[in-house]
Chains A and B, each alone.
With several copies, the nearest count.
Chain A
Amino acid sequence: TVGLITKTESNPFFVKMKEGASQEAKRQGAKLLTGAGAKDGDNEGQVTALENMINAGAKGILITPSDTKAIVPALQRARQQGALVIALDTATEPQSAVDALFATDNFKAGVLIGQWAKAAMAGKKPVIATLDLQPGITVGAQRHNGFLQGMGLAKADPNSSNLVTAPQVVCSQDTHGDQAEGQAAMENCLSKNPDINLVYTINEPAAFGAYTAIRAAGKEKDILIVSVDGGCRGVQGVVDGKIAATSQQYPLKMATMGVQAVVDYAKSGKKVSGYTDTGVTLITDKAQPGVPSKDSKFGMANCWGTK
């Protein structure tokens, strides 16, 4: 039996992950239990699910920790009870709290869009709005900080969960990665400072929210939106020219590898360990010199690692 615990049930990213896991589980003839927190940052929900899965006899747990530190003690308990614990997409702090980590480097994802944006702005003075996740969530900080570092506007510790900032950032809002909130936040940012010409978004729903607001303001020509995830809908956004560039991740791959690893452990008792980067690719149709990227055709073909 394999247990998969995601941050939420409804974020397409995790839906994809679940999809991959259940396919793989079927192939391997393993039983998959799934659980999730009520919302991003709901640690207790994840702990409860974890405990119940161990009780239900799960050999291994695949988890995307909502709170990279808070989950640790529970994970250690699970490991003491002999379960293999693998973190997907997001590292725990310390990373050693889990047997293995299959993840994207979120900081690098941020850096990539940062570098691209820097190049794409071509000397134009950036006036930046950042639509963030919510305080205290590492992934949010890593992407945000990575972005600013890529822009060359700030230096940041890749593992910090605190947002850095820079004078060029004129408006920062939490969106909880939610499209409606992203839209409201962008609307207010624009009425605060109409000169914004570059928008960083924590994920693609937020990006689309921002785009709706920007189009309503008739500024879609003058503002670049960069984002992270590379989901099929996100890449479609790149194709449509709504999102200028996005860093693509591969949840399906993470899940598949995860289930594989647990099944092996159940069979042979040998544990995987260490960090496996499942890779991140910058997707844009306006490739910039010196910034490695692939176009949206590639993005579509691989969005979140379908096939």
Chain B
Amino acid sequence: MSTVATTSPAPPRTDFLRSLGSFPILGPVAALILACIFFATQSDRFLSGANFSLILQQVVVVGTLAIGQTLVILTGGIDLSNGMIMALSSVLMTGLYANSGMDPYLAVLVGMAVCVAFGVVNGWLHTFIGLPPFIVTLGTYSIAYSLVRIYTTATITDVPPALNFFGDTFRIGSTAITYGTVAMIVLYVIAWFVLRSTPAGRAVYAVGDNPEAARLAGIHTGRVLIAVYTIAAISYGIAGLLLVGRMGVGDPNTGQNGNLESITAVVLGGTSLLGGRGYIMGTLVGALIVGVFRNGLQLMGIGSNYQVLITGVLVILAASVDYLSHRGK
């Protein structure tokens, strides 16, 4: 995993230059820029505010899922359940209003509560029973999957206006931007700040890097892990909210690829699956890389079989760029 063997996670502002010199997510950013340049040469429609706004919209859901996924992976874990937790919260948030006439805001709260419950269960099984996160979240994936379908197999169309908010747009110049996009970016900034500059954030890195050392240093690793899985689950709930805003419906069939897609974003962003090393903003870049590929290839009118082929190749290339950009160190 030498891809990220560099630099202090928290370069102090004082020596800004050094921190630039070892700019951690250089690789992913380079890969993203290369991809953009490539597509700009291929399709005249690619380089437009409207198109970029579109790509952002298409990335919002996975991007938000990937925030929680990043936290979990930083602790050395992995969360396969995130997409289904999102799906469950989104059908509840819409369904409780549409089918049970619950107050929409209350419905959102209930949806969030369910997410929290799943997060706690994930964290607890991992920490106190000591099960590998892969197995735990595989199990909760199935559980959430079936709960969604037991609750409803019919798409919920009667969505309260309040929940459509994140789908609405405002204009900057000529390009319309959704509030969902803004929400996602805000979440990233918060996560970035917390991970970089708060004791809690540093504890996440410490636990992921060397749990035993963390424990012996008096860090309550158990609490940290449960908190991480819970906060992650909340981000999945928010992703559900953004999804509803974007799709305008509560869709029980959603979220099944959320885990692999979010993990891809995380890893493309330069975060190590071994835990302890990674950068939340890298994840955002990783998500954008995937979004740009998909959008660009479609603009080029490439048949989707070849789209998949090229995406596969590009994923490997992007990761290589990242790796090579760090090789020196």
Residues on A facing B (Cβ under 8 Å)? 9-12, 15, 31-36, 38-39, 41-44, 47-49, 51-53, 55-57, 66-70, 72-74, 93, 135-137, 161-162, 171-174, 178-180, 183-185, 187-189, 191-192, 205, 208-209, 212, 216, 233, 236
In the bound complex, do residue A161 and residue B247 qualify as a contact, i.e. CB atoms below 8 Å apart?
no
Query: A136 near B253 (CB under 8 angstroms)?
Result: yes
B197 within 8 A of A: no
A10 to B147, CA, bound (A): 12
Give bound CA distance, A47 to B248, whole Å. 12
Contact of B304 among A173, A192, A209 (CB under 8 A): A173
Q: Which residues of B contact A236 (CB under 8 A)?
A: 157
Q: Do A38 and B247 form a contact, CB below 8 Å, given A10-B153, A52-B298, A56-B45?
A: no
Known: A70-B155, A192-B45. A44 touches B254 (CB 8 A): yes
Q: Which 7 A-B pairs have the closest CB atoms?
A: A73-B248, A136-B153, A69-B155, A41-B253, A52-B298, A188-B298, A135-B153
What is the number of contacts between chain A and chain B, taking CB atoms within 8 Å? 168
| Interface pair A70/B304, CB less than 8 Å apart | no
Closest to B305 in A: A9
In the docked arrangement, what's the CA distance between A35 and B254, Å?
A: 18
CB pair B155 A135 closer than 8 Å: no
Q: Which residue of B lies closest to A77 (CB)?
A: B248
A138 to B254, CA, bound (A): 16
Q: Give the number of residues in B that approach A within 8 Å (Cβ atoms).
A: 36
A12 touches B153 (CB 8 A): yes
Closest chain B residue, CB of each to CB of A39:
B256
| Nearest B-chain residue to A209, judged by Cβ | B247
Complex: how many Å from CA A67 to CA B157?
11
Which one, A41, A53, A66, A74, contacts B298 given CB within 8 A?
A: A53
In the complex, the answer to whether B301 meets A69 with C-beta atoms within 8 Å is: no
Q: Supply 25 A–B pairs (Cβ within 8 Å), ascending by A.
A: A9-B153, A9-B305, A10-B149, A11-B253, A34-B304, A35-B304, A36-B304, A43-B247, A43-B253, A44-B61, A49-B298, A52-B295, A52-B298, A55-B54, A72-B157, A136-B155, A136-B252, A136-B253, A162-B153, A172-B303, A180-B251, A183-B246, A191-B299, A208-B155, A216-B169
Q: B253–A67 contact, CB under 8 A? A: yes
Given the complex, which residues of B lie within 8 Å of A183, measured CB to CB? 246-247
Bound form: Cα–Cα A30–B298 in Å: 16
Q: How far apart sit A53 and B50, CA to CA, in the bound complex (Å)?
A: 13
**A32 vs B303: C-alpha distance in the bound complex, in angstroms?**
9
Contacts of B61 in A (CB 8 A): 44, 180
* Bound: A189/B298 CA distance, A: 7
Q: A179-B247, A185-B298 known; 20 other A-B pairs, CB under 8 Å?
A: A12-B153, A35-B298, A42-B257, A44-B61, A47-B247, A48-B58, A52-B294, A69-B154, A69-B155, A135-B153, A136-B153, A136-B154, A136-B155, A174-B304, A184-B294, A188-B54, A188-B294, A192-B299, A192-B301, A208-B157
Q: Contacts of A216 on B, CB cut-off 8 Å?
A: 167, 169
Bound-state Cα–Cα, A180 to B299, Å:
18
Chain A residues near B303 (CB-CB < 8 A) = 34, 172
Please encode chain B, from 13 to 48, with 1 for each CB lying within 8 Å of some chain A CB and 0 for all others: 000000000000000000000000000000101001
Q: Per a CB cutoff under 8 Å, which of B157, B243, B248 touches A233?
A: B157
Contact of B249 among A41, A72, A188 (CB under 8 A): A72
Q: Is B51 an interface residue (CB 8 A)?
A: yes
Contacts A42-B253, A162-B153 given; does A70 touch B247 at CB 8 Å? yes
